């Protein structure tokens, strides 16, 4: 059964009301539970849980160390292209933004790779807009072939693809795919994505199903915080995760929690999330699911990132550029969103070490992918 | 002394190398533990780099490396990874880990048996990580395993010996060394495993994640020695209270 069937059994307003009705005793029950349910998760993200933030952080810290040890995984994005046929009201690459468009050629990809390797990275995240003709599966496959000799782990955050396309890319060496739903509010989704293939809500919603069918090792979920009520959106993320873990039990999962950042032609968030609430959400995700990876980008501030290392996140990027060619060939091209923490990977690694953690650059080996396309 | 395949170990504490706050802390803790067999995940090391940080820190006369296949999801991937590890690290010892379930990292018994058969034929000293399944242990013996490594509880859970009844059956029946792996959360768990006759234990999370990994490693060393000594000295059986109404006194009147 596809997630769409499950999703349609829920009503946004009912879920929202249920979250905002949670009381202190629901939070305490959730904190003390042995196995935590989606109802517990609602309590942990509810306003009623804010007074329990320190307790939640302590618990999240302990659970995370037990599972992931005193380590933080390092990754870096590499933007391949800012061509895009979608209109997304919140994105710098949106079709209607009159910006110069750029797609990296082979030579440019390799010079970016060289700089990223020098920073120490072995785990790369390829990013693009959505332009199927020029930046489609063939382009990605070719890019992966070029990049694969240089990185033990290759992740991708591009437009949703079909299952056989994912299988083809997995065969080429892709291990991880991130596809964020942006918002699970179907009507609101439509207003933020009025044009392009991305405007089809259900196709995006079923992307993790297609990834699971293709046997992708790891998939990343999340919403863009600021488009809608973050609590309700996070509940649907947790619901999605729960469903996927049962359905595709051989896949790993990671969650991200990007907050809307300023960019060219940007919109004002409908609902702001405070720093305390971000901490609350990270802890809630961790307490609800002890095994899921939690990833933090350079969208957040230095102080916040320094302090989140111990609270529950498991992977972090540093030194990121969010424009194609940003590391070498087109350093001035327009970025997708503004970076908030501009410190170098080495500075971030040092901060991680100072907190008593080891920055991990390599945690995958191509040898383990000799049979990439596993039958499901 | 414990012997597995061609090696003799004076320490019955095997250790893992993940989750430490730095490679230096790892080395200091493992040295303090007295461990002579340390397992290292192929996916964490760069075998093409002679100066790999983890390998550099494990380059010490006390340690024998036990590469593991963590990340492999089936026999084919595990065998491929094993061959790469053998070539790069110059050891035919292998901790076979096949867990297609990345959430609880539960070992796949079918793929593990298949891979053990194949690897043993290829000359590997195979130590497979398995559920505490007595029948599987016997099947692995037939397949040529060098030891068995049944779990006490799920990896990294620190929950102790939840599988105690099955561990006892495995120890009673086994012709190969039994190494209790996974879930050992405290020195008392390790001592308990040794008291019931395990040949060794493998500990990682409980040492790596403690506030003071070096002290914790020493505590595990002592617990493993104490547990083994108690096993060899033969623990007195627990004495149960006698039933108030004797059931066999009628025999006296016959």
> A355: nearest CA in chain B?
B21
Report the CATH number that the domain containing residue A237 is assigned in CATH: 3.20.20.70
- Tell me, yes or no, whether A244 lies in a domain: yes
Dist CA B41 CA B70 (whole Å): 6
pLDDT band at A373 (very low <50, low <70, confident <90, very high): very low
Interface of B with A in 181-240 (CB under 8 A): 205, 208-209
**What pLDDT shows up at residue A376?**
36
> Chain A within 8 Å of B77 (Cβ-Cβ)?
yes
pLDDT in tens, A107-150: 999 999 999 999 999 999 999 999 988 999 999 999 999 999 99
Of B69, B104, B209, the CB nearest to A66: B209
Average pLDDT over residues A261-279: 81
Asked if residues B246 and B209 have their Cβ atoms less than 8 Å apart, the reply is no
Q: How distant, in Å, are the alpha carbons of A183, B82, B138, B147 from that of B142?
A: 55, 20, 6, 11
For B100, the closest of A122, A218, A250 (CB atoms) is A250
Task: Identify the pLDDT of residue B53.
Answer: 86
Residue B9 pLDDT > 80: yes
Type and span of the H or E element at B113: helix B109-121
Instruction: Give the count of Cβ contacts less than 8 A between chain A and B.
Output: 87
Domain assignment present for A371: no
Domain count, chain A: 1
Q: What is the DSSP letter of A340?
A: S
Separation CA A75–CA A314 (nearest Å): 11
Measured between CA atoms, the residue of chain A closest to residue B208 is: A69
What the block records as the tokens of A287 is 């307490």
- The answer to whether B73 contacts A353, with C-beta atoms less than 8 Å apart, is no
Instruction: Please list every residue in chain B whose beta carbon sits closer than 8 Å to the beta carbon of residue A74.
Output: none
Contact across the interface for A252 and B102, Cβ inside 8 Å: yes
Taking an 8 Å cut-off on Cβ atoms, the answer to whether B156 and A67 are in contact is yes
DSSP-derived secondary structure letter, A263: -
Report how far residue B71's alpha carbon sits from residue B82's, in angstroms, rounded to the nearest whole number. Answer: 12
How many CB atoms sit inside 10 A of residue B155's CB?
A: 22
Task: Calculate Rg over the CA atoms of chain A.
Answer: 20
CB contact under 8 A, B77 and A362: no
What distance in Å separates residue B252's CA from the closest CA in chain A? 55
Quick check: A101 contacting B, CB < 8 Å?
Answer: no
CATH number for the domain whose boundaries are B2-253: 3.20.20.70
| Calpha distance B215→B225 (Å, rounded) | 16
Q: Looking at the complex, does the CB of residue A370 fall below 8 Å from at least one CB of chain B?
A: yes
Could you give the ipTM of this predicted complex? 0.74
* Interchain contact, A363 vs B46, CB within 8 Å: no
What is the tens place of the pLDDT at every residue in A184-237? 999 999 999 988 889 999 999 999 999 999 999 999 999 999 999 999 999 999
Domain boundaries, chain B: 2-253
- The Cα of A221 is separated from the nearest Cα of chain B by a number of Å equal to 16
Within 172-201 of A, beta carbons closer than 8 Å to B belong to none
Give the predicted TM-score (pTM) of the model. Answer: 0.85
Q: Which residues of B touch A246 (CB under 8 A)?
A: none
- For chain B positions 106-165, those within 8 Å of chain A (CB to CB) are 156-158
Angle of helix A38-45 relative to helix A12-20, nearest 10 degrees, comes to 60
Could you report the per-residue pLDDT of B174-208, keeping only the tens digit for each? 999 999 999 999 999 999 999 999 999 999 999 99
Q: How far apart are CA A198 and CA A206, in angstroms?
A: 12
- Kindly report the number of other CB atoms within 10 A of residue B234's CB atom: 7
Residues 6 or more apart whose CB falls under 8 angstroms from that of B247 comprise none
- Chain A residues with CB under 8 Å of B103 CB are 245, 249, 252, 291
* Res. B158: pLDDT tops 70: yes
CA distance A264 to B67: 50
Name the CA dihedral angle for A35, A40, A41, A45, rounded to a multiple of 10 degrees: -140
Give the gap in angstroms from C-alpha A304 to the nearest C-alpha of chain B.
Answer: 21
Residues pairing with B150 in the sheet:
B130
Would you call B95 a catalytic residue per the annotation?
yes
Find the catalytic residue in B7, B19, B76, B95: B95
**CB distance B21–A70 less than 8 Å?**
yes
pLDDT for residue A372 is more than 70: no
| Residues contacting A362, CB < 8 A, separation 6+ | A122, A123, A152, A153, B43, B44, B45, B46
Residues of the domain holding A42: 3-363
Which residues on B lie below 8 Å from A353 (Cβ)? 22
3-state secondary structure A280-303: HHHHHHHHHCCCCEEEECCCCCHH
Residues A276-313 pLDDT 10s: 999 999 999 999 999 999 999 998 999 999 999 999 99
**Stretch 115-144 of chain A: residues touching chain B, C-beta under 8 Å:** 122
């Amino acid at each position: 059964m596809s997630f769409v069937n499950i999703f349609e059994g829920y009503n946004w307003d009912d879920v929202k009301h249920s979250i905002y009705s949670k009381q202190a005793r629901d939070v305490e029950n959730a904190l003390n539970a042995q196995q935590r349910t989606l109802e517990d998760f609602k309590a942990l993200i509810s306003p009623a849980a804010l007074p329990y933030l320190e307790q939640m952080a302590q618990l999240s810290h302990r659970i995370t160390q037990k599972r992931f040890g005193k380590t933080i995984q390092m990754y870096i994005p590499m933007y391949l292209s800012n061509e895009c046929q979608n209109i997304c009201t919140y994105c710098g690459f949106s079709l209607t933004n009159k910006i110069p468009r750029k797609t990296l050629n082979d030579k440019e990809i390799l010079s970016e790779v060289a700089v990223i390797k020098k920073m120490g990275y072995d785990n790369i995240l390829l990013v693009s807009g959505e332009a199927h003709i020029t930046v489609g599966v063939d382009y990605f496959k070719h890019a992966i072939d070029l990049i694969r000799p240089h990185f033990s782990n290759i992740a991708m955050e591009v437009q949703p693809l079909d299952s056989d396309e994912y299988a083809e890319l997995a065969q080429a060496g892709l291990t991880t795919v991130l596809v964020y739903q942006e918002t699970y509010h179907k009507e609101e989704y439509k207003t933020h994505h009025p044009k392009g293939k991305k405007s089809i809500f259900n196709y995006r919603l079923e992307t993790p199903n297609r990834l699971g069918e293709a046997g992708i090792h790891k998939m990343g979920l999340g919403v863009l915080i600021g488009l809608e009520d973050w609590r309700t959106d996070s509940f649907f993320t947790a619901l999605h995760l729960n469903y996927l873990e049962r359905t595709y039990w051989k896949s790993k999962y990671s969650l991200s929690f990007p907050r809307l950042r300023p960019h060219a032609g940007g919109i004002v968030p409908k609902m702001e999330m405070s720093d305390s609430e971000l901490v609350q959400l990270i802890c809630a995700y961790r307490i609800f699911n002890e095994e899921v990876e939690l990833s933090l980008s350079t969208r957040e501030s230095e102080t916040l990132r320094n302090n989140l290392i111990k609270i529950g996140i498991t992977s972090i990027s540093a030194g990121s550029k969010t424009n194609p060619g940003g590391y070498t060939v087109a350093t001035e091209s327009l970025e997708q969103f503004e970076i908030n923490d501009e410190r170098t990977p080495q500075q971030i690694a040092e901060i991680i070490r100072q907190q008593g953690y080891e920055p991990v650059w390599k945690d995958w080996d191509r040898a383990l992918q000799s049979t990439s396309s596993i039958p499901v | 002394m414990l012997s597995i395949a061609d090696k003799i170990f004076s320490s019955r504490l095997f250790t893992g190398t993940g989750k430490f706050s730095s490679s230096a802390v790892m080395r200091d803790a493992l040295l303090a533990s007295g461990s002579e067999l340390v397992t290292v995940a192929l996916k964490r090391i760069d075998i093409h780099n002679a100066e790999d940080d983890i390998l550099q820190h494990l380059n010490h006369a006390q340690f024998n490396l036990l590469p593991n296949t963590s990340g492999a999801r089936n026999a084919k991937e595990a065998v491929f990874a094993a061959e790469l590890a053998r070539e790069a690290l110059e050891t035919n010892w292998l901790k076979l880990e096949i867990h297609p379930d990345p959430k609880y990292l539960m070992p796949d018994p079918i793929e593990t048996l298949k891979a053990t058969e194949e690897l043993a034929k290829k000359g590997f000293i195979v130590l497979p990580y398995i559920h505490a399944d007595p029948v599987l242990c016997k099947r692995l013996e037939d397949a040529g395993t060098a030891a068995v490594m049944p779990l006490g509880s799920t990896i990294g859970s620190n929950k102790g010996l939840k599988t105690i009844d099955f561990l006892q059956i495995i120890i009673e029946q086994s012709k190969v060394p039994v190494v209790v792996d996974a879930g050992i959360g405290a020195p008392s768990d390790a001592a308990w495993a040794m008291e019931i006759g395990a040949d060794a234990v493998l500990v990682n999370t409980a040492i790596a994640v403690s506030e003071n990994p070096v002290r914790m490693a020493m505590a595990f060393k002592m617990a493993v020695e104490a547990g083994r000594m108690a096993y060899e000295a033969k623990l007195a059986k627990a004495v149960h209270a006698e039933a108030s109404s004797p059931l066999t006194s009628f025999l006296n009147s016959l």
